[in-house]
Amino acid sequence: MVVQLRTAPQQPGRMSEGSQPKVEANILVLGAEKVGKSALTVRFLTRRFIGEYGDIESVYTHNVMVGGRDVCFSIWDSTCPQAAELQGWVSEKQLRWADGFVVVYSICDRSSFHLARQQLQRIRQLKRRGGSEKSPVILVGNKRDLQHRRAVSSEEGRLLALSMNSGFFEISAAETYHGALVVFHELLDLVRDSRSSGKKAVGIRGIVRTMSAVFGRRRTE
């Protein structure tokens, strides 16, 4: 079951005050069990760390101003399947829904790092199959406050992110709001970049099509 929740009243129109169109972004939060997916999401939405979150899968709608623009985040805080063989799985439905992905592991849990790698590979694979090269992703190493229990070095996290062409942050959802803020804002930037580069590519394809239509016709006239 996926629960739908709104954290702020949704604006009636799709235009913000300065008549700039509202930016909408669907963000899917993935990762192994108990790595802090909900803690990170709730931190961003409410600025608070509650401690215990249960294991309910929720989609939150959150309206906020970012850099003078009205932004509507829909954040799907997922749960990890129990069955080991399904854990690296990201469904095609989730893939189609999401504009961007946050893949979380715990720096104290090496198996969660392996799972993050599998999920990153799956996102890349499915997006490539769907014909899209760019899929905005941020890899997050959470629980940075637990240094004495660290099992994954920062370097490993950075290298994995580099190899998967994704962003990377180590944060502590327990300790600060800033880390969560930076993760979602950076991802929003990546989503907007990928949309504008997509538009450019379509634009160039459009010009090529027009040119070949013109020259093609001339050749046959």
How long, in residues, is the chain? 221
**Got the DSSP string for 18-39?**
TSPBPEEEEEEEEESTTSSHHH
Interface residue with ligand GTP among 52, 85, 155, 221 (CB under 6 A) is 52
Cα torsion 100, 106, 109, 110: sign: positive
Q: Residue 5's closest CA among 73, 68, 51? A: 73
Interface residue with ligand GTP among 142, 183, 184, 188 (CB under 6 A) is 142
107 or 161, CB closer to ligand GTP?
Answer: 107
Question: Coil, strand or helix: which one is 170?
Answer: strand
The footprint of Mg ion on this chain (CB under 5 A) covers a number of residues equal to: 2
Cβ-proximal residue to Mg ion, closest one: 38
Q: Does 90 bind ligand GTP (CB under 6 A)?
A: no
Interface residue with ligand GTP among 17, 55, 133, 193 (CB under 6 A) is 55
- CA angle at 63 for the pair 62 and 69, rounded to the nearest 5°: 140
Interface residue with ligand GTP among 16, 63, 79, 176 (CB under 6 A) is 79
Assess contact for 100 and 27: CB atoms under 8 A: yes
Minimum CB–partner distance for residue 82 and ligand GTP (Å): 10
Interface residue with Mg ion among 38, 74, 112, 119 (CB under 5 A) is 38
Minimum CB–partner distance for residue 197 and Mg ion (Å): 32
Residue 64 near which of Mg ion, ligand GTP, none (CB within 5-8 Å, type-dependent)? none
Q: Does 119 bind Mg ion (CB under 5 A)?
A: no
**Got the DSSP string for 73-137?**
EEEEE----SSGGGTT---HHHHHH-SEEEEEEETT-HHHHHHHHHHHHHHHHHHHHTT-----E
Using CB under 5 A, list all residues that contact Mg ion: 37-38
Using CB under 6 A, list all residues that contact ligand GTP: 31, 33-39, 51-53, 55, 79-80, 142-143, 145-146, 172-174
